[in-house]
Every structure is written in C-alpha cells, then in structure tokens.
Amino acid sequence: MKRETTTKQKKVPKLINPCDSKAMNDLDDNEVIVLTRQKNQECYQEIVKRYQKRLSAYLYHLVGNKEEVEDVLQEVFVKVYKNIKKFDVNQKFSSWIYRIAHNEAVNFLKKKTRRRLVSWEDIISYKDQMALQEEQGQESSMDVWMRKERRQEVKDAIAKLPKKYRAVLALRYECVHSYQEMAEILGKPTNTVGTLLRRAKKRLVTVLNEQDVL
C-alpha cells in the first residue's frame, strides 16, 4: 500500500488552542506571526492587541490629533497584515512594525495642507527616567527637566521642534528603543540617529531655557 506523501510546512508553535489568550502570552511576536501566516485572523488580533497602544502613542507625537491617529493606525495594521508574509522572522518584529507606522505618519503629514503640532503629554513618565540614566553626565539639564512636572511648558517647547526631532525623542524616551532599533525604524544609519537625538535634546533644552523652565 502506497504511503501518502506530505509536503513540509513551516513549524507552527505547539498550542492546545492557538488563539487561547493564556497560551498567546507564552508566545513571542515571531511565533504569533507564524500562526498569522496560516490565515489565522484571531491570532493576528493578538498582534494588534500587543502594538495598538504603543503605536498610538508614537503616532500621536507625530500627528498630534487623536482622530487622525486612529485613521493612520488603521492603515498601519492593514499594511502589516498585507505584508506579513514578507517579514523576515529572523529580524525584530517591533522595529519592522514601527517603521511601517513611521512611514505611514510621514505620508499622512505630506498629504495635509496644515501641520498639527504634537503633544509631549505622555512622555514624562517613569520610562523617561530609566532611559535617561544612560545620558546622565552628558546633558544633566535633561535629567533636571525630566523630573519637573511642568507639562504645559514642555508641550509648548515640543510644539516648536521640527518633526524629525519629535520623532527621535518619542522613539527614544516614550517607546524606549535602542539606537539600532531607531535606525531600522527611521531608515537611517545609527550615527545619524545619534546625531539627530543630540540635536533634538539640545534644541529642546534651548527652547525650555528661553521659556524659563530650566
């Protein structure tokens, strides 16, 4: 009796129920992506769940309007779903999806005739304090500023910065990305990202000094 031939398929994570919420928590992003590639819509929702809030915060720093953020975010997840098979699972998924979000925001802003200024409301958080530990000694005034709760003054200062500076500040201090991850997201060399971040902080400190915040 002839044995039936079987074709090799991509390894799928072993789960009793692939879309069980508890089981999902044990999977990393790339394992969820493998399941999503099997046309598993429920598993794709896990990706949305993991990144919706984080991407919304980042997009808000660029777009500056909650309703418009929703529109851009929807386009981001549509593009992610359509291109999920193109993602290299050997790479870091978070960098890939953030780059899509960044590009969608840039495209959205290009289409607008009027630019909205961004808020820095959510960036003053415990994440800032952790991320800034690496920068201590280089720009101590940033540490002083981050410990102050003058949010309106900060919002006014950020509103005066160019979009490219708002982007690197948000990626570094809100999203807490490494320089390498920021380079992948922005499509720029690591050295360029470092230069942008230094210039952004310098410009921000200058504006804050002009406003007598520091």
Query: Residue type at 33?
Result: I
Assigned token pair, 66: 């909650």
Residue 117 counted as domain residue: no
Residues 87, 140, single domain; the answer is: no
Mean pLDDT of the residues in the chain: 74
What range defines the domain where residue 88 resides? 21-111
* Residue 13 domain flag: no
Does residue 121 carry a pLDDT above 70? no
Structure confidence by residue, pLDDT tens digits, 192-205: 999 999 998 888 88
In one letter, which amino acid is 192? T
Q: Are residues 103 and 136 in the same domain?
A: no
Give me the pLDDT at residue 152, please.
64
Count of domains observed in the chain: 2
Residue 1 in any domain: the answer is: no
pLDDT of 136 over the 60 cut: no
Same domain, 25 and 103: yes
Tell me: do 133 and 103 sit in the same domain: no
Confidence of residue 99 (pLDDT cuts 50, 70, 90): very high
Whether 159 maps to a domain, the answer reads yes
The pLDDT tens digits of the residues spanning 49-94 come to: 999 999 998 898 888 788 889 999 999 999 998 898 899 888 889 9
Size of the chain in residues: 214
**Distance of alpha carbon 45 from the chain centroid:** 18
pLDDT in tens, 3-59: 544 444 444 444 435 555 556 777 888 888 888 888 777 788 888 999 999 999 889
Same domain, yes or no, for 29 and 80? yes
For residues 101 and 132, membership in a common domain is answered with no
Last residue of a domain, one of 111, 141, 171: 111
pLDDT tens, residue by residue, 137-193? 444 445 444 444 466 676 677 777 888 888 888 888 767 788 888 888 888 998 999
Kindly report the CATH number assigned to the domain that includes residue 70.
1.10.1740.10
Residue 73 belongs to a domain: yes
Axis crossing angle, helix 41-63 with helix 66-82, rounded to the nearest 10: 140
Let me know whether 34 and 60 are in one domain.
yes
Residue 140: which CATH number? 1.10.10.10
pTM over cut 0.75: no
